Structure 1
């Protein structure tokens, strides 16, 4: 999912006093209308989930507006500037800090005791970090995702790996042997446009981000980037996008890749002939096997006139039974830990693997500059991989850029 930038000072300069004037929701033809903004495919499906909530809340009509991800950021910026937003909005977890910093999200702290579904202990530890900004509770995890390793079990067994690679060394060894097994075979697919993978490797190598001292030139971060870029230098991964990953996976040209839970259904639908020839595994470990955690949160727009109704709606959507129903509808993973005890997840080997990985995951740092920093890292990696730039020089430059952004 590509983001289009951050809320700059020019937008923030719009007087928050005018923003704090109430939304235009409330009474409509004698009934109340609750406005919900949801993104992408989720927005189209969410309206199917509102019927029971409306029955339990007579006189309340839930109006879901589906907003394409590619236009969502700009639409949210407009809402911040004008103060004319929804009552409830869905936010990708990497957007939370940006819009919280802009003052667009209601502080839910005083309401936490009244809504047991909102208790942070109900959620994966990695997801809890996205709930708060500047000591305020500004969002509740709705669904989650993480990255695991997809691999061709049959092809790895042919090169001496009857089990999934469990360490960095094993991954390098297995993917090297796969690359040598045929023409135009790249043992591990790494998407150079994906900002998540470099940070996953860094976390696995012991890197801890500090906003006061980003220190991307630390041995931990540099070691991770050396490892990441070595796959391209050694010809194990291709810098070119090339063939669609599903087709390449089917053909055995890219037998290992990292992705999220959505790929389970994609592969089942588009590569049915591979049934029994592929699996998912938790990420290979260095110091640890931490992966990323993402997904989406529900937040309340700061100037809604329907605070109670908004919180009731979010509470309903985060009940365990509702989350399991939403999983069936949308193929997204529940954020509630209790939902993972259900046989639909616990007894499914692949989903259970995602559940295990979610236990060892962390989210992006909750700073509004994170997206720009991540894009600068990708630009540095591109210069290293394609232009032969010096890793030390690039990471020292990234340190300075990050410090300037955060200031």
Structure 2
């Protein structure tokens, strides 16, 4: 999912809302209207450095769509911190937009609620076919074996970005490739009020992204093969402890980062206060922070040992944004035309260039802009060493309860309290108790 969004909704509330959504979806959107729709409402996720940046990127393209089709699109850019709650409220009230962006990790959860239009073969044909999309991006559009709940719009992956000036000043010649090297390098960089690595301890989704990847590196998935929560396995505990220990034990993350929410770590990176960040597809974001391309470098995110790859060498989740249609829209025909437009080769090239992301549409990836050194690392990661977050209906609850557990552990580390295997396991056990019982 794009950047690091906070899924600020409790597990119990989410469960109730999804149940209500399954019962209350409107029927008018499934078949659409025979009349040509003249207006669509669109909730776009905040992809740029600000909502105003997104409006500047998107509005010319929406105007182009209106000129081509006669359909006006009313745009609202929704901050990540609000987006999931807005969607869940819309599913219960039936008063949602016609088209919306969702983080790809939410696909299975929202699919279970029944609020989104299924992408069966007929609907895919309406937008040019399913085979236009990259397979890895399609893997995060819903539960395997069911019609997807959304289609891919922007693809991303995590990488390690580093501040070249801070590296030079500290005498560091190359970015760390393993976590042991991260600690060793980090101690050289964490001096005189400066810190090696940025984190956002109060950003629940970012917490999940990092501990999910570390979980894979420790052989844990956080869910059993039959979809049951498995938060207290040895691998899951080791993953969470390793992440929090970057502050609690290695002391290469500033204690103040325990309170950081969405994007706050980027300012420190751009102003030479933090030397490294683990981030998704960040070149456009750094530019908006006033950094020139020659001021930062990019490398694959660290692994435990060796080189990135599948299984325990996974170093990123499959990140990205999907585009969905509300099932109860009265403008199904217009919504399908809009999705076709936004996922067309030309628009995919324009939009992904603007956001520094990678097109999930195969033909658009041929543009030379997506072969830059920075994006080459991300493309390689997506193709060889990234894994999709669990595509289970309870994924959003997982982000909330485990993300909160990590947040609380960061707060304890910042306060100087010991973070032990026992304390981590207790937090994760508490989180697991909040999950729906199967």
Partner of 2:309: none
Partner of 1:192: 201
* Structure 1 stretch displaced more, 60-69 or 156-165: 156-165
Matched, 1:50 2:62: yes
1:213-252 counterparts in 2 under 5 A?
Answer: 213-232=228-247, 233-241=249-257, 245-246=265-266, 248-249=268-269, 252=272
Cα distance 1:395–1:353, how it changes in 2: closer, same or farther (>3 A)? same
Report deviation, 1:344: 0.8
Partner of 1:61: 71
* Structure 1 stretch displaced more, 383-392 or 364-373: 383-392
Matched, 1:350 2:350: no
> Secondary structure of 1:405's partner?
coil
Distance 2:7 2:103 in 1: 10
> Secondary structure of 1:316's partner?
helix
Distance 1:251 1:16 in 2: 47
Cα distance 1:20–1:253, how it changes in 2: closer, same or farther (>3 A)? closer
Matched, 1:401 2:431: yes
Partner of 2:276: 256
Number of residue pairs aligned between Structure 1 and Structure 2: 398
Measured against aligned partners, the alpha-carbon deviations of 1:355-378 in whole angstroms (never above 9, x if no partner) come to 222223233323332222333332
> Secondary structure of 1:165's partner?
coil
TM-score by length of 1: 0.83
> Secondary structure of 1:406's partner?
coil
| Contact 2:21-2:115 within 8 A present in 1 as well | no
1:41-190 counterparts in 2 under 5 A?
Answer: 41=51, 42=54, 45-57=57-69, 60-69=70-79, 70-111=81-122, 114-115=125-126, 117-119=128-130, 122-123=133-134, 125=136, 127-133=137-143, 135-156=146-167, 161-179=172-190, 182-190=191-199
Cα distance 1:160–1:221, how it changes in 2: closer, same or farther (>3 A)? farther
Partner of 1:376: 404
Distance 1:152 1:122 in 2: 34
Partner of 2:42: 36
> Secondary structure of 2:301's partner?
coil
* Structure 1 stretch displaced more, 135-144 or 213-222: 213-222
Measured against aligned partners, the alpha-carbon deviations of 1:184-211 in whole angstroms (never above 9, x if no partner) come to 2322222222312222222233322325
TM-score by length of 2: 0.78
Cα distance 1:84–1:191, how it changes in 2: closer, same or farther (>3 A)? closer
Report deviation, 1:247: 5.4
Please list every run of 5 or more consecutive structure 1 residues that lacks an aligned counterpart in the other structure. Answer: none
Matched, 1:314 2:339: yes
| Contact 2:287-2:293 within 8 A present in 1 as well | yes
Cα distance 1:391–1:44, how it changes in 2: closer, same or farther (>3 A)? farther
* Structure 1 stretch displaced more, 242-251 or 72-81: 242-251
Report deviation, 1:88: 1.9
Cα distance 1:308–1:402, how it changes in 2: closer, same or farther (>3 A)? same
Report deviation, 1:9: 5.2
Report deviation, 1:394: 3.0
Cα distance 1:291–1:349, how it changes in 2: closer, same or farther (>3 A)? same
Q: Which has the larger radius of gyration?
A: 1
Cα distance 1:157–1:384, how it changes in 2: closer, same or farther (>3 A)? same
> Secondary structure of 1:339's partner?
helix
| Contact 2:284-2:354 within 8 A present in 1 as well | no
Please list every run of 5 or more consecutive structure 2 residues that lacks an aligned counterpart in the other structure. Answer: 305-311
